[in-house]
Amino acid sequence: MKTLAFNPYLPSYEYVPDGEPYVFGDRVYVFGSHDRFGGTEFCMNDYVGWSAPVDDLGAWRYEGVIYKATQDPLNVDGSQHLFAPDVQRGTDGRYYLYYCLHRTPAVCVAVCDTPVGKYEFYGHVKHEDGSLYGMSKTRKNVFNFDPGVLKDTDGTYYLYTGFSPNPGAMRDMMGKMLLIDGSYCVQLDDDMLTVKTEPKLVVPCESVAEGTSFVGHGFYEASSPRKIGGTYYMVYSSVKSHDLCYATCDTPDGDYVFGGVIMSNGDVGLVPDGAAVNYTGNNHGGLVEINGTWYIFGHRQTNQTVFSRQGIAEKVEILTDGRIPQVEVTSCGLNQGALPGSGTYEARIACNLSAKNGTFNYGQENEKAGMHPYFTQDGEDRECDGNQYIANMQDGAWAGFKYFAFDGEHKISVKVKNHAGMGNGAKGVMEVRTQKDGACVAKIAIASTDEWQTFEAEFASEKGKQALYFTYTGAGAVDFGGFTVE
């Protein structure tokens, strides 16, 4: 990479989850929903565009607002948010943006001549009789949510939607029951709007998974289809929510078979005893091939809530038999390798974060949340100097960063300050390790300070690829801004 790439891959002030990545020309584009820092609901901001050169995945460029929630005729008052979108290029060369409003079961479509120009409303996906898909008075209606669109190699388009709260049932605005038992597929006509087939359940939810390969990982949300070679892949978020799973099939609308977990935003499945090494929450993303290498895009949670999510990405390997082994979340993400051992790094790129007694899921209430560290920022939403950092590291809290290529560095420093509201402030030690439970390679004495201040110590590094783990031990709590190795 010409520019260092990190996780999260976008700037610290940007909150774009549900990322669907695509390569158009010589750039990779990510299309996602748009959370708000300090938001109280999902997806409170309008869609924005981001792109990067395929040979420089650290150089992301802001493309501006590409579509506003008020542009949809069903939402002129702006009371509904734009949920997770997907984009495909049509037979006419234009780009079609598929999305759902958060209280309407229709699939909405906007169109643009370029991937990240100003999209204009195009229509709502409909049946041949003109009734809206998901809102028909005479048909069974799918609860449309998180649309994913596949363009097959023969030029045929398929639309996948679904949402499966488990247990439970939903009714549409006319009181009719909605199909909520998994991901459904329909074929689209060349107009990119008209449904040509009846909906087919292709990935079942947990409540109807008995007797299938999906038991334990039934569909919950986030349909993301791809065709790789001659195999159709469906990436989705399972009933566990924090993971991105995949299923495969020989046809686009056949019965898919569970393949495995690609990513968990807490690395659940890679850690003994099912533990999570980051605070978990929902997940959504997709696969993309960039210059011959495959990546999975997903997101993490910040600010002690499920409503301020940020995009992360990792390299994956698709084995010759089609399997995709689970990958760990790292700090280097799209960097194509370890970060330089010498340098200054923001604490926000930590891929592991935990209190002394572990983590929890942000989608669940936790009466002890005030004892846990979390990612947050100074300033308001979308302020470019958001100054993101880790807050509230109390005794035993730790943050992990992976990976660095060390070459004999001998000094390390940390930027910290007292966490507000913790009495007399912080006084303790920041212990540094290259293995989570390994020997200390540095002990940095921390004094109480209400302003950002740097403290340093000698650092005994070994040459080669290593992680860094920072554990605070002592009184009070610190906010952790970043560190420098030299």
Question: In terms of Cα–Cα distance, which of 305, 306, 394, 310 is closest to 348?
Answer: 310
Question: In terms of Cα–Cα distance, which of 374, 376, 330, 378 is closest to 353?
Answer: 374
Asked if residues 472 and 478 have their Cβ atoms less than 8 Å apart, the reply is: yes
Q: Which residues are catalytic?
A: 18, 221
Cα separation, 17 vs 250, in Å, equals: 30
Give the list of residues 6+ apart from residue 78 with CB closer than 8 angstroms, or none.
69, 70
Asked if residues 318 and 338 have their Cβ atoms less than 8 Å apart, the reply is: no
Identify any residues that bridge with 96 across adjacent strands, giving them in sequence order: 88, 111
Q: Is the dihedral of CA 6, 9, 14, 19 positive or negative?
A: negative
Identify any residues that bridge with 323 across adjacent strands, giving them in sequence order: none
Structure tokens at 368: 């002890």
Cα separation, 389 vs 377, in Å, equals: 6
Cα separation, 69 vs 55, in Å, equals: 33
DSSP H helix total and E strand total for the chain: 0, 33
Where is 390: in which H helix or E strand? Answer: strand 388-394
Structure tokens at 320: 């010759």
Question: In terms of Cα–Cα distance, which of 310, 417, 280, 399 is closest to 37?
Answer: 310
